[in-house]
Amino acid sequence: MSNETYSDNVTRVIDLLKETFKETPFKAYFDDDPGDIAKFDLPAIIVSENSDVTSAGSMAQDDIEEQILIKVVFDKADDYKNDADERSNDTQRKLRKIVGERDSVTGDYLPQTIKGAIRTFGQLDLNEIADTMTTEYGVQPRDDGLMTIEAHVTFGLQYSVDIRH
Are 121 and 82 a contacting pair, CB within 8 Å? no
pLDDT at 80: 73
What is the model's pTM? 0.84
Express each pLDDT in 122-131 by its tens digit. 665 656 777 7
CA angle 17, 136, 133 (to 5 degrees): 60
Total of domains in the chain: 1
Residue ranges, the chain, pLDDT below 50: 1-4
Nearest to 26 by CA among 71, 79, 67, 68: 71
Phi and psi, residue 57, nearest 5°: -105, -165
- The CATH number of whichever domain residue 114 belongs to comes to 3.30.70.1700
Range of the domain at 39: 3-162
pLDDT at 4: 45
pLDDT at 60: 84
pLDDT at 10: 92
pLDDT at 98: 94
Collapse the DSSP code of 71 into the 3-class scheme (helix H, G, I; strand E, B; otherwise coil) and give the result: strand
